[in-house]
Chains A and B, each alone.
Chain A
Amino acid sequence: MFNHLLSLLIWLPIVGAVPVLIAGSRHPMAARVLALLVTVVTFLISLDLLVQYDPNGAVMQLAETHRWIAYWGIHFSLAVDGISVALILMTTFVGILVIGGAWKVIQNRPHQYMACMLVLEGLLVGVFCATDALLFYAFFEAVLIPMFILIGMWGGPRRVYATLKLFIYTFTGSVFMLIALLYLYQQAHTFDLATLAALPLTMREQTWVFFAFLFAFAIKVPMVPVHTWLPDAHVEAPTGGSVWLAAVMLKIGTYGMLRFILPITPDAGAHYAWIVIVLSLVAIVYIGYVALVQEDMKKLVAYSSVAHMGFVTLGIFIAFMLVRQSSDLDVATLGLQGAMVQMISHGFVSGAMFTCIGVMYDRTHTRQIKDYGGVINMMPWFGFFYVLFAMANTGLPGTSGFVGEFMVILASFTASPWIAIFATFTLIIGAGYTLWLVKRVLWGAVVTEQVAKMKPLEAREAWVLIGFALGVMAIGVWPQPLIHLMDSGVAHLLQQLAVQKV
């Protein structure tokens, strides 16, 4: 059996960026084709994960460990559980769609754009399968480099402000995590995550480490009140950058919580879970209202992303409450599973929403809602997709958005009806801002000349949207395979957070 599958998935896109760069300056079309080829091959190879990963087997599979820095006990060690497999598959799938989405739009140095995309994809896969804390950190931070260039070079008018804000904000959070990791290294003399998980820590140590981790990951998720970089970054980013940002980059924040906070600081996590739960509810309710008043479509979707990610953090930390208070593992499992499904679902839905906005922006070069109206008359097929994704965004049953949110609300009802009541608000507010957006953009008569000139959907754009739609519908109609895939991973996480270290 070939056991370097994970390394291959990381390095193939990164190394693939080199020929794209070389081909690019004179032959932009060659660069595009090469980039698409690399992403397609990477996706096909990543499908092999489904074959090789056995949901009923050990928790961490396909492990590979290479001695990296012998003097310091850092290993290049990778492994996946079901959660990672799902996220990696989503990453490689979205990778194809963003290359397809940027095919014609990016005319300014397309080879550099494509290379950025490929490097980003490889690094994100690396984040999802690193099992060495410092290796994780390296991938986690390195993601910022292509993202910084992506927004800065191909972004909107305020791109420099947005990209510097993104970089400095997220870097600031992560450096405290680095200090925490170095502190843990002093205790454990290794960066191996499994060893760190078993490390006994006093409550005081756990508290400090917990807040260092929380700060780092909360900025990445992003949680209220450190979410302000996200709307700026989204508004200025090119469509591809927005899609990466919303679909995958936000997930590395919540993924980090699963891999670091839950196993390493379970007691502090349980003790301070209420903080995260309150912040999540604020994100769900308050940010929902903020989304309602936005005039820029991208900003609206960006704020709705913050609100939806609130469900993920809520699902993760409600599990703490449930396990510690009632030791009710079944409901806790439900909450955590809901959070996982919501992560994947939000990846497809928000990616699709940003792609839709990109499609319209390419035709009219405006993102202001007031400049639209009656788009459905000019682009009927596009309208179909747009409504589909909007419904998924509101959490309509049958779409992926429903499954995760419903599971999290069910779990939180057991913990406290109040939490559930506030969380349920999202169904109303979410429907409010999304449907109102659809109403103002799609329906009605054609009001402006720009809209009247809009051309129907091209085949290439349609294929990208079909790709997203498949993901949304598959999870919405039949989530069982996804949940089964992540079963052992979720169960293991629950065991880890149930351990009392103090």
Chain B
Amino acid sequence: MPTLNDVLIMLPELYVVTATCFLFMLDAFMKPAQRPLLHWLAIGVLLVAIFMVVAGQPEGTVTAFGGMFVRDQVAEIIKVFALATTAMVFVYGRPYLIDRGLRGGEFYTLMLFAVVGIMLVVSAGNLLTLYLGLELLALSSYALVALNRDQKLPAEAAIKFFVLSALASGMLLYGMSMVYGASGMGGEATLGLAQLNQVLGYTTAPKLLQFGMIFMIVGVAFELGIAPFHMWLPDVYHGAPSPVTTFISAGSKLAAFGLAYRLLATGMGDLGEQWRLILAVLATASLVIGNLVAIVQTNFKRMMAYSTISHMGYLLLGLSAGNPEGYAAAMFYAICYALMAVAAFGVMLALSRAGFECEEISDFKGLNQKAPWMAFLMLLAMFSLAGVPPLFGFWAKVMVLEAAIHGGMLWLAIVGIVTAFIGLYYYLYVIKVMYFDQPEEGGAVAAKPDRSLRVVLSANALSLLVLGVWWGPLLGWCKRAFGA
């Protein structure tokens, strides 16, 4: 029987679910004139959830519902940033959605359900909870990608996303069943992640376990967008409405990090020697493919998609170290990436207007002459993504490189660094277009006058500079969360 204590531990999630259902009903019974209120209510829900996560932070690790749900510092930190970046997506996306008449309640409720999915994934203590959270996130995401359902591109993207994602989920589930079976041979069969780690070492069916593990890694790699399981990413980024793209590149990637951490580190941490090399190879493929293919993109969203692929490769650099320092570095990287991606897409959203997506790189031509502040914010995001000091992205890269070297994978660090300067080119290209080119007819003109967007976006992009100079506290949280 669930006790009151169980409920209290899970309170933030339960609150977001309840509030989202409430918003859904409210949307149905609201007068059209009152609809704009929904936006602020949804942001309010997220802010209150952040408060609940932070205020209810437990000492150490607590579990609820018989170990199904775990609340520890790792989960808390990811939740805070997932909630915060989602709130930013709401702020940045509002003018875009208004212009396109997409601003129904469904956007907000689906986003909030997706956030609940993220919260469940990162707090999962059991394979079932993990899968449940992942599916909640995925189902909401399919619908969000197809939000602009009258047009071809989003529909195509959503179908691709759905088919491939279903396949990946199947892989994951299949792998889970094998690992479950392996745990039962030689020990007590279990779905609990922490228990799995204890019994898997004694299994009498190591082959079965290895197969299961590889299937699970495929599922994880798909969620992260790691090559060679990255094919869906550019199409989905391109086809989805830009606010949804922003969410997928920030919140979903935080969730994917949580998924990878829970499955590999919590569930199979003692088998690290077996999966570390797989991750290293995947990281190499991702770094090379992501950075090389991004160079030839002319569409900003597709370029950012390949950039995501390469950045997830860097994240794997940290994970493949297979030790708490490495996990801390990877989480630091995931947070950093989420902030950078939201800032870059935020500028794009701020510059789009009715009938103009501002998604081609050439749309940014001469931006410095028309909207110097927006150009500057984009400059910060690009230099940060490229990993140029003193911006935040540089330190995140240093952390994962250090983790890889510390984990004995000097070669992987060298791959990471070589691809870093290959990748430099396409970020510099965006800056070149904004600063060195003359503006053209039909390009971006000026930023939205929306004040909340301007303020939050400025704070977001400037945080890359501030965190680049003062990243100690954040690193401290990440390290403490993993006891590193």
Residues on A lying within 8 angstroms of B by beta carbon are 25, 68-72, 109, 112, 134, 137-139, 141-142, 144-145, 148-149, 152-153, 159-160, 163-164, 167-168, 171-172, 175-176, 178-179, 182-183, 185-186
Category for how many chain B residues contact A: 20 to 34
A111's nearest neighbour on chain B, judged by CB, is: B372
Partner of A182, one of B389, B413, B420: B413
Given contacts A152-B431, A176-B417, 5 further A-B contacts (CB under 8 A): A70-B472, A141-B394, A179-B401, A179-B413, A186-B405
| A179 CA to B425 CA, complexed, in Å | 20
Chain B contact residues, majority secondary structure: helix
Count of A-B residue pairs with CB < 8 Å:
84
Proximity string of chain B (433-474) to chain A, C-beta cutoff 8 Å, 1 when within and 0 when not: 001100000000000000000000000000000000001100
| A183 CA to B413 CA, complexed, in Å | 10
Given contacts A160-B436, A178-B417, contact A168 B425 (CB under 8 A): yes
Chain A contact residues, majority secondary structure: helix
- B424: chain A residues at CB < 8 Å are 167-168, 171
**Are A175 and B417 touching (Cβ within 8 A)?**
yes
* 6 cross-chain CB contacts under 8 A: A69-B471, A71-B475, A71-B476, A71-B479, A152-B435, A168-B428
| A141 CA to B398 CA, complexed, in Å | 13
| Shortest Cβ-Cβ A-B pairs, 5 listed | A138-B389, A69-B472, A152-B436, A175-B417, A141-B389
- A70: chain B residues at CB < 8 Å are 472, 476
**Are A164 and B425 touching (Cβ within 8 A)?**
yes
Q: How far is the CB of B342 from chain A (nearest CB, A)?
A: 22
**Are A145 and B383 touching (Cβ within 8 A)?**
yes
A137, A178, A185, A186: most-surrounded residue (chain B CB, <10 A): A178
| A160 CA to B435 CA, complexed, in Å | 10
B432 at the interface (CB under 8 A from A): yes
- B475: chain A residues at CB < 8 Å are 69, 71-72
| A172 CA to B420 CA, complexed, in Å | 9
B205 at the interface (CB under 8 A from A): no
B359 at the interface (CB under 8 A from A): no
- A138: chain B residues at CB < 8 Å are 389-390, 394
| A183 CA to B398 CA, complexed, in Å | 12
| A178 CA to B401 CA, complexed, in Å | 9
| A418 CA to B175 CA, complexed, in Å | 71
Q: How far is the CB of B473 from chain A (nearest CB, A)?
A: 9
- A145: chain B residues at CB < 8 Å are 383, 388
B402 at the interface (CB under 8 A from A): yes
| A148 CA to B428 CA, complexed, in Å | 9
Q: How far is the CB of B381 from chain A (nearest CB, A)?
A: 13
- B420: chain A residues at CB < 8 Å are 175
**Are A160 and B472 touching (Cβ within 8 A)?**
no
- A152: chain B residues at CB < 8 Å are 431-432, 435-436
**Are A182 and B405 touching (Cβ within 8 A)?**
yes
- A142: chain B residues at CB < 8 Å are 388-390
Q: How far is the CB of A351 from chain B (nearest CB, A)?
A: 25
- A139: chain B residues at CB < 8 Å are 389
**Are A168 and B476 touching (Cβ within 8 A)?**
no
Partner of B405, one of A68, A71, A183: A183
B406 at the interface (CB under 8 A from A): yes
- A72: chain B residues at CB < 8 Å are 472, 475
Q: How far is the CB of B308 from chain A (nearest CB, A)?
A: 21
| A71 CA to B417 CA, complexed, in Å | 23
- A183: chain B residues at CB < 8 Å are 405, 410
Given contacts A70-B472, A137-B389, A164-B428, contact A182 B394 (CB under 8 A): no
B406's nearest neighbour on chain A, judged by CB, is: A186
**Are B388 and A141 touching (Cβ within 8 A)?**
yes
B414 at the interface (CB under 8 A from A): yes
**Are A175 and B479 touching (Cβ within 8 A)?**
no
Given contacts A178-B401, A183-B405, A186-B406, contact A144 B388 (CB under 8 A): yes
- B435: chain A residues at CB < 8 Å are 149, 152-153
**Are B436 and A172 touching (Cβ within 8 A)?**
no
**Are A172 and B402 touching (Cβ within 8 A)?**
no
B424, B432, B476: most-surrounded residue (chain A CB, <10 A): B432
**Are B472 and A68 touching (Cβ within 8 A)?**
yes
Q: How far is the CB of B141 from chain A (nearest CB, A)?
A: 35
| A159 CA to B413 CA, complexed, in Å | 33
**Are A159 and B436 touching (Cβ within 8 A)?**
yes
Q: For chain B, residues 384 to 425, give those with C-beta under 8 angstroms from any C-beta of chain A.
A: 388-390, 394, 398, 401-402, 405-406, 410, 413-414, 417-418, 420-421, 424-425
| A134 CA to B472 CA, complexed, in Å | 14
- B389: chain A residues at CB < 8 Å are 137-139, 141-142
| A167 CA to B428 CA, complexed, in Å | 9
B376's nearest neighbour on chain A, judged by CB, is: A21
B408's nearest neighbour on chain A, judged by CB, is: A186
